[in-house]
Amino acid sequence: MQITVEYAAQIKRAAGRSAETFDCDSPCTVQDVLERVVDRHGEAIGQLLFDRQRRLHPSILLFVGDSQVRAHEPRELNDGDVLTILSPISGG
């Protein structure tokens, strides 16, 4: 199955793109896809996403389609889902 991941703000810069597609086995969870993102893009993006205990930073927002997803609640994805990863935006 294919999952599209869209990146925003700092995560977009770290990934070097605004979106990409991942091929996943079914079942596949949001957490599985986040690990694939780190595998593909390296520890620089991993440090933006996760703390030292490999928990998602509380400031990172996740959406599947238009619905916000909580990182600590496993969420299975379906073929064609779009996962958006949003980091805080700062500056002025």
Domains of the chain (ranges, CATH numbers): 2-86 (3.10.20.30)
How do the pLDDT tens digits run along the chain, 92 residues long? Answer: 999 999 998 899 999 999 999 999 988 999 999 999 999 999 889 999 999 898 999 889 999 999 999 877 889 999 999 999 998 765 55
Provide the whole-model pTM. 0.91
Helix (H, G, I), strand (E, B) or coil at 28: strand
Cα(60)–Cα(27) distance, integer angstroms = 23
User: Which amino acid is present at 5?
Assistant: V
* Strand blocks (E) in the chain: 2-8, 19-23, 28-29, 61-64, 67-69, 76-77, 82-86
